[in-house]
Amino acid sequence: MNVKETVRTNYGEAAVRVKTGGSACCGSSPSSACCVDPITSNLYDSSQTSEIPEAAVLASLGCGNPTALAKLNAGEIVLDLGSGGGIDVLLSAKRVGPTGKAYGLDMTDEMLALARENQRKAGVNNVEFLKGEIENIPLPDNSVDVIISNCVINLSSDKDKVLREAFRVLKPGGRFAVSDVVVRGEVPEQVRRSMELWVGCIAGALRDYDYIAKLAKAGFDSIDIEPTRVYSIEDARQFLAGEGIDADAISKEVEGKFMSAFIRAEKPSSTTKSCCGPTCCS
């Protein structure tokens, strides 16, 4: 199976577990250490969780709380890339109100079914869940005010394409406001792979400076990466031991380098370059 199919299978199974009263944990058994705490736990405060169905909270598999950090205004159009059980879509829908709209995009049928059930339970109408891939967003150019996402872009094997698509669908002046796992600085490949196994079933976290470079290449400006949770070797010790990896041996390479972060950027209001002279503006 390729990476995308493996991701789809893992999250399809996670959605079915939640529907049958289990945990969203991405490991093969609900008790697996791949349950990614402390990454996914306690991301939302009670003022947020009290607004949405419990099943949406239980299905949460993110690593941040993008709607708490993003600026969302009444009447705006929000798109959540990799919306899973729909928690951030439902929270966004409340924030943009009945004159706005929140789209969730996901490629996994079981997650879409769970999200639509959560929408029905929440009784919100200004929400639409779309089936598709974040590398080919099924929305027109310049149609979205804010793109959010919660721990999904790291899963894509073509992040440049995801960022190009995000840029395309955002309106001029639109905001990119995403939670994701990033790596700060250099980490040996073997250590990185071990930690990525811990971070998620299949993770491909970017280095912070690569994320910035890719956003700039896609056309974004006002780029900023703000760490929200920095992980320590203790967070991963139990999982690494289960994988036969000596946490103490790699602790120096890990400390302070793996983090969840909030990544902001903007699509410039005008994408035409200002004219520099009488002949250069052809």
Ligand X SMILES: C[S@@+](CC[C@H](N)C(=O)[O-])C[C@H]1O[C@@H](n2cnc3c(N)ncnc32)[C@H](O)[C@@H]1O
Interacting residue ranges for ligand X, rule: CB under 6 A: 4, 7, 11, 60-62, 82-85, 87-88, 106-108, 111, 133-135, 150-152, 155-156
Residues 271, 208: Cα–Cα separation, whole Å: 25
What's the min distance (Å) between Cβ of 42 and ligand X? 13
What's the min distance (Å) between Cβ of 114 and ligand X? 9
Q: Which is nearer to ligand X, 131 or 252 (CB)?
A: 131
Task: Evaluate whether 97 touches 75 at the Cβ level (below 8 Å).
Answer: yes
What's the min distance (Å) between Cβ of 108 and ligand X? 3
Q: Which is nearer to ligand X, 82 or 250 (CB)?
A: 82
What's the min distance (Å) between Cβ of 113 and ligand X? 11
What's the min distance (Å) between Cβ of 41 and ligand X? 12
Residues 222, 73: Cα–Cα separation, whole Å: 19
Q: Where does residue 158 rank: exposed (0-12), middle (13-18), buried (19+ CB within 10 A)?
A: middle
Task: Evaluate whether 148 touches 88 at the Cβ level (below 8 Å).
Answer: yes
Which residues lie across from 101 on neighbouring strands?
77
Q: Which is nearer to ligand X, 48 or 83 (CB)?
A: 83
Q: Which is nearer to ligand X, 112 or 250 (CB)?
A: 112
Helix 247-254 vs helix 189-199: crossing angle, to nearest 10: 100
The closest of 221, 237, 232, 214 to 273, measured between CA atoms, is: 221
What's the min distance (Å) between Cβ of 109 and ligand X? 9
Which residues lie across from 147 on neighbouring strands?
79, 176
Q: Which is nearer to ligand X, 86 or 174 (CB)?
A: 86
What's the min distance (Å) between Cβ of 242 and ligand X? 20
Residues 175, 95: Cα–Cα separation, whole Å: 15
Task: Evaluate whether 70 touches 170 at the Cβ level (below 8 Å).
Answer: no
Q: Which is nearer to ligand X, 64 or 174 (CB)?
A: 64
Q: Which is nearer to ligand X, 41 or 282 (CB)?
A: 41
Task: Evaluate whether 254 touches 194 at the Cβ level (below 8 Å).
Answer: no
